[in-house]
Structure 1
Amino acid sequence: MQQVGAIIQQGPQPWAIIQQENGVGSIALSGVWAAPEGVPYKTAQVLARVVSEEDAREVVAWQPAVMLAEQAWEITLDSIAQGGLYRVETSLQLDDNPALEWATRGDMIHHIGVGDLWVIAGQSNAAGYGKGPFQDAPQLGIHLLRNNGQWDLASHPFNESTASIHFENREGANPGHSPFLAFGKLLQKELRIPIGLIQTALGGSPLKAWNPEEDGVLYRNMMNIIQSAGGKIRGILWYQGCSDCSPADSVTYLERFGRTVEHWRRELNDAGLPVLTVQLNRCTDAATEEGNRSWGRVREAQRQAALNIPHVYVIPALDCPLSDGIHNSPAGNMIIGERMGKLAAAEVYKGAALHAKAPCLVRAAFIEKHDKPRIRLQFANVAGYLHAIGPVSNVFAAEDVNGEINISSWQITARDEITLHLDRPAEGETVVHAAYEMNPSSFLPLDSGTYMPILAFYGQKVSE
């Protein structure tokens, strides 16, 4: 039997999140129409509206579509207030009948939200490889553009490849739990708008895959997927770096990441596009000296990116538990997702006065270089006071022109200050590190206000 009424051929998918701009979104629809067989009429008009799924309240009243040749029609519904979930309805009005409740039927699109889209990019901890049971249920208003090209209610695992149309970021094994449902839940609670998540990550992917100046294969895939979702996003959630922890790649990571972000922003025509990043968690594989230093350089590059590239932000992960030697567990992912959500709420949306940044070294200076040599470390972004849960842990390291200087002890000497006691006088240029190794101390100094650890740092010069 032939379909009758208003038939939608182009429009958003069910469960789609529409990127809002200035608090409103728009929906374009087009299709064809057909009057019921045997029903006489002289004129026909397709109408469309938007209603709330919660209570059927009319959000956008019935609007007439533009009627085209060959029984085609099109319409753009503008000024849809951010929120939802909404239902898009159509109908076919014959002979200007004012009783629209009895107009000829039309197609509908369910579970539409107008909110913000966040792209997930990076490697396996962005794809999500947390294993084991953990309570993190789906929630209406947090939706996911899956790898089959279809919008859906967001649920784990995000980067699974059922009927995938994006082979560029297809995982070799089934992924698991990721941080980003928790991220969406926190933002939805803070902002009271739907959150759409677009998964483009791939386990093991190096930075060059995201940089069009180098390989760029995942850069192109990400941009194609963004275009399929309307071409506008609110920000990027980036967790990557393990694959660049080699001597050559780690040295150039900061410069290459900066250029990668420039390309993202240029392509998306958004010079201030927010990029939320995660400083690498630990790797429990057998460590080498060069491996330790490479991991330290990448972590330092991630810290420096947030200090020097506008609208790039970073959270720590070194206190988060693992599922295996390198992948964050579901419990660790919940911590990371919450931290990223708070960071977005505070820095991107300028919302409630959340303390969302981790303690970050701003100055290392000698108190005394020769007699009872000591170095004072000063930190920014301390919401409460620094708190040592492992006061004898080997968190810090120092080096001068003669090599490593043993740190006999360290103490927190002010709310935002740590003092290192050296075993011998320092000579020449001296640098300090903290938690830079592949698998550093598990007991880092914490901020009592947020219980986030200090950000790891590497190769920071000590001033006289």
Structure 2
Amino acid sequence: MQIGAIIDKGPMDWQIVQQTNGSANISLSGSWTAKEDNAIEPKVFVRIVNEETGEVIIPWKGSANLGKAQWEITIADVPAGGLYRLETCLSLNADHYKAMEWAVRGDMIHHIGVGDVFVIAGQSNAAGYGKDPIYDPPELGLHLLRNNGHWALAAHPMNESTGIIHEANREVSNPGHSPYLSFARKLKRELGYPIGLIQTACGSSPLSAWNPEEDGYLYRNMMDILQSQGVGTIKGVLWYQGCSDTAVDESATYLDRFKRIVARLREDRNDAELPLLTVQLNRWVHPVHETSNQNWGRLREAQRQAARQIAGVYVVPAIDCSLSDSAHISASSNLVLGERLARTALKYLYGKPFICDAPDIEEAIRIGPAQIRLTFKHISDRLFVYDEGADGLPFVAEDEEGFLHAVGYELEDPHSIAITLGREWIGECWVHGASEQNPKSFVPVDFASHLPMLSFYGVRVTEQKPGGATL
């Protein structure tokens, strides 16, 4: 039988505890046993030390005695950082603070950190299916709540299902590399404290599986994981989903349904400003069906609009990412994608001066019989099109007669490109940019960041009034 202080409830080895304003409170409870019959006012004590050096971070603090050899304590203001070791001991004497190093032994919790915790949700590219080799090693301070219900050192594949305790998000095949170790590494490097990840994604999952107003089984699974693990506040959600909703009805309703998910998630987590870092869909190298390009365009536009219309939702592009197969981001591009997400978090969640916003179309204006000026925001240097010819540009206009393709272009200023179409349009006109299922290879970028523009679909071309105003 064990003696001394026993921890029955508290953080796990390797767990990252969410910090608030630079610190966290850590609660523990348990029992104690002692062989000595002459124990006078036995009391359990707890302290926290730096795991690398053994330096004391929080000195010995006495717990509350609950009777029947039970104890509990909340250690307040544990500073963001780590890794830490949490130690307990049992003092048998009334003079508790005398020679604590010779108190009766107690349980310990190893490799814990205080930092920020992010939940990963979505489908296969959130689960991670990069199959090419890349150097993206584990690192102390980057930890993962695995599907077996235990915290561990984060390593690929993050969504593998050994010992899984929640089968709702079990992958059918073994996953691979994901963007989120790269994401966490960048944050830890810039912030100086640990990052924890909680994986709840599932390959091939449609939005309905995440919408509690529809099927919602993965939403419930995500909430069950957080509740069962005692995860309170989280820093944000990492969301990458959409391929399974590129059908006519699903793509047309995606934005409204996604808004409902965000609202419900914030309500259930009691965090009205909970941020979501999202990824606009990558390309899919697959035979195109009759409505594929339209559906993919609508879906990507919904993702672009979500970041515009929902406060605290952010989007990064993936249209330029290389693939491991017809649909899944390669490991090498996952590194890039993870850093894009991290820069976005560093700017908008932490107030750091990072360039992170992808070029985003602001307006499309008619400037001639068959000419359109496309103006973009989030240009730090200049719009760059790789010196492509007009036929290589990923822009296409559409009127009641069909599609109009570019036959010429001019980069008018750092923010704008004027494209000349093969004919004058009839009636109303809309313009699309890199919206197809598998758009053209070269997408315009901001030269400073080399971030590609966000794909867009169905942006109406407006008429220019004399003096430069638009109708």
- TM category, shorter: over 0.9
Q: Aligned residue for 1:378?
A: 375
In structure 2, the partner of 1:69 is: 67
Q: 1:51, CA displacement in angstroms?
A: 1.0
What is the alpha-carbon distance in structure 2 between the residues aligned to residue 23 and residue 267 of structure 1?
24
Partner of 2:467: none
SS in 2 for 1:463: strand
Total equivalences in the alignment: 458
How many angstroms does 1:426 deviate by? Answer: 1.8
In the aligned structure 2, how far is the partner of 1:360 from the partner of 1:229?
A: 39
Distance in 2 of aligned mates of 1:40 and 1:111: 35
Tell me what 1:55 maps to.
Answer: 53
Cα shift at 1:389: 1.4
Q: Which residue of 2 aligns with 1:318?
A: 319
Partner of 2:142: 142
- Is residue 2:412 matched to residue 1:416? no
CA deviations on 1:230-289 (whole Å, 9 max, x unpaired) are 221110000000000001100111111111111111100111111011011100110124
Deviations 1:318-337 (A, max 9, x none): 11110000000101111110
Counterpart-to-counterpart distance in 2, 1:458 and 1:267: 33
Give the 3 Å change call, closer, same or farther, for CA 129–16 of structure 1 in structure 2. Answer: same
List structure 1 segments (4+ residues) > 3 angstroms apart after TM superposition. Answer: none
- Corresponding residue number in structure 2 for 1:252: 253
Distance between the aligned counterparts of 1:189 and 1:326, measured in 2? 30
Deviations 1:73-101 (A, max 9, x none): 11111111111111111011121251111
Is the Cα contact below 8 Å between 2:187 and 2:342 reproduced in 1?
A: yes
C-alpha contact 2:126 2:239 (8 A) present in aligned 1: yes
1:209 match: 209
Residue pair 1:390, 1:443 contacting (<8 A) in 2 also? no
- Letter aligned with residue 142 of structure 1: L
> What secondary structure is seen at the aligned counterpart in 2 of 1:462?
strand
Match in the other structure for 2:108: 108
Deviation of 1:38 after TM superposition, in Å, equals 4.8
Following superposition of structure 1 onto structure 2, how do residues 208-227 of structure 1 map, counting pairs within 5 Å? 208-227=208-227
Q: How do 1:284-433 and structure 2 match up within 5 A?
A: 284-351=285-352, 353-368=353-368, 370=369, 373-389=370-386, 391-392=388-389, 393-433=392-432
2:121 corresponds to:
121
Kept after mapping to 2: 8 A contact 1:391/1:411: no
Larger mean CA deviation between 164-173 and 49-58 belongs to: 49-58
Structure 1 SS opposite 2:68: helix
Taking only the aligned residue pairs, the percentage that are identical comes to 51
> Partners in 2 of 1:271 and 1:38 — Cα distance?
53
1:79 aligns with 2:91: no
Give CA deviations for 1:170-218 in whole Å, capped at 9, x if unaligned.
Answer: 0000000000000000000111111000000000000011110001000
For residues 223 and 441 of structure 2, the distance between their equivalents in structure 1, rounded to whole angstroms, comes to 38
Q: Distance in 1 between matches of 2:410 and 2:241?
A: 33
Secondary structure class of the residue paired with 1:406:
strand
Q: Which runs of 5+ in 2 are unaligned?
A: 464-471
User: How many angstroms apart in 1 are the aligned matches of 2:36 and 2:314?
Assistant: 64
| Contact residue 393 and residue 443 of structure 2 kept, 8 A | no
Do structure 1's residue 458 and structure 2's residue 457 form an aligned pair?
yes
Deviation of the 1:22 alpha carbon: 1.9
Where do 5+ consecutive residues of structure 1 fail to align? none
Matched AA of 1:391: E
How far apart are the structure 1 equivalents of 2:387 and 2:71? 68
Q: Tell me, in whole angstroms, the C-alpha distance in 1 between the residues paired with 2:6 and 2:447.
A: 58
* Amino acid paired to 1:454: M
Q: What SS does structure 1 have at the residue aligned with 2:363?
A: strand
Q: 1:317-371 CA distances to partner (integer Å, 9 max, x unpaired)?
A: 11111000000010111111010001000111111x1100100001100111x2x
Deviation for aligned residue 1:3: 0.8
CA shift for structure 1 position 52: 1.0
Whether the 8 Å contact between 2:395 and 2:405 is mirrored in structure 1 is: no
Aligned to 2:469: none
- How far does residue 41 in structure 1 lie from its aligned partner after superposition? 2.8
Normalising by the residue count of structure 1, what TM-score does the alignment of the two structures yield?
A: 0.97
Letter in 2 for 1:178: S
